[in-house]
Structure 1
């Protein structure tokens, strides 16, 4: 029995959503560990990316492609900020903004021009 692509996307989206809720629940019990909330937020972006990507597969278009890429890069940049926050205890915002700005500036213009 082979799995189809939609089933795999649904499984990844569901498990990322569950992990996000788990991290959020852990943050509720240990509010001083703010990196848990940042990681939970990053997974919300990844879950959003999975559902937008599923729509992109069904109906490919430039705007859905841009949205898919933006959600994924925002999620990964937020994970970068969460890792920095975990390691140093500092604010994740500068790393998240820097990672988002660089990655979006490099990848979104070609996608907007139709290179997908």
Structure 2
């Protein structure tokens, strides 16, 4: 699945680490579904961290807000971490439908 057209910013909701990432942690998306995503980042966030996630599709300036949690993280290189995120809530059903349609479009291309 080609995820080059997906931009994702993570913001931890944990008050103990929020100040480090208040502007967001921009990540590269490896894979995405309606239940979660696999991303690459330059920093490791602790497993169990609850997140506010801003997702942009196809270069759109419109952000889709999703809530989730880091379920696993592993270091792949000195400054490269692969992280698994489980989605736990959507701001509304229309945004979930937009992501569903985007995923279906990507799947049809492959």
> Which is bigger in relative contact order (C-alpha 8 A, separation at least 6)?
2
Greater strand content: 2
Greater helix content: 1
TM-score (normalizing by structure 2): 0.28
TM-score (normalizing by structure 1): 0.27
